[in-house]
Amino acid sequence: MNINWQITEADKACVKAILDKQRTSTLVRDRHERNLAETKPTVTKERFWQALVCMRITTRAASGPSSRIATFQSLSPFPLSYDAMCKEQSPQDFIHKTLSAHQVGTDREKISKDLAEAFKLLEAGEWQGAVDQCNRLIRLVPRETEAEVADYIMDTFDGFGPKQSRNVLQELGLTRYEIPIDTRVTDWLNDELKFPFKVTSIALSDRHCYKLILDAICKLCDECGALPCVLDASIFSAQDE
């Protein structure tokens, strides 16, 4: 059984309006420069680990430009860098103490456990697989390849569902189609686009439902001559205002 999304002129007008209004925003320009570039910087273990940490702490937490998370992500040196992790005897305690000190993460116990397990797995031999998967995307590839890499992250690391796995790839500037559908996007789908049924975070926790909604977004963008990562940035910029 298949669902055939029918895109209306009103749908396309809604998309084009927000794309036009936000076309000069900082985030939209960044997506054009990074995500749409024909070649992108190689993903190293240091970059991958920082993206994994930063995107795990955004779960159910505000992450706009003025948030504590945004401040934490921009710190240099990064408090939970790969080098810093390698010096610690108890990664989980170190992660929890650091998140608490910076007041980021809504469930620090769970986040610390998930990230410590991820670090242990990577150090036990998963690093090559992780960076190799991400580096499949440093050149422009079809949506199917992006989805395969997102599935790899989701299936390999605890705490990374359909949205969080795509958050990691978005943070690294690697994806054009496989976007993280967070509350800002669902609000826009429900309130502005008038999606045919209500999209909820609970439904999006299921990978099959997530793909269904993303299929609709991709088809909508295709008919508007746009890319999902640019629509996503436009929605974020509009709501961050």
CB atoms within 10 A of CB 208: 8
Domain carrying residue 76? 45-171
- One domain for residues 59 and 155: yes
- One domain for residues 159 and 186: no
pLDDT number for residue 105: 85
Alpha helix segments (H runs only) across 67-206: 68-73, 82-86, 91-102, 108-121, 127-135, 143-156, 162-171, 183-187, 201-204
- One domain for residues 49 and 165: yes
- One domain for residues 97 and 149: yes
* 18 lies in some domain: yes
Task: Kindly give the confidence (pLDDT) of every residue in the chain, 241 residues in length, as a single tens digit, with 9 standing for 90 and above.
Answer: 578 899 999 999 999 999 999 999 999 999 999 999 999 999 999 999 999 999 999 887 677 777 888 899 999 999 999 999 999 999 999 999 999 999 998 899 999 999 999 999 999 999 999 999 999 999 999 999 999 999 999 999 999 999 999 999 999 999 999 999 999 999 999 999 999 999 999 999 999 999 999 999 999 999 999 999 999 999 999 987 6
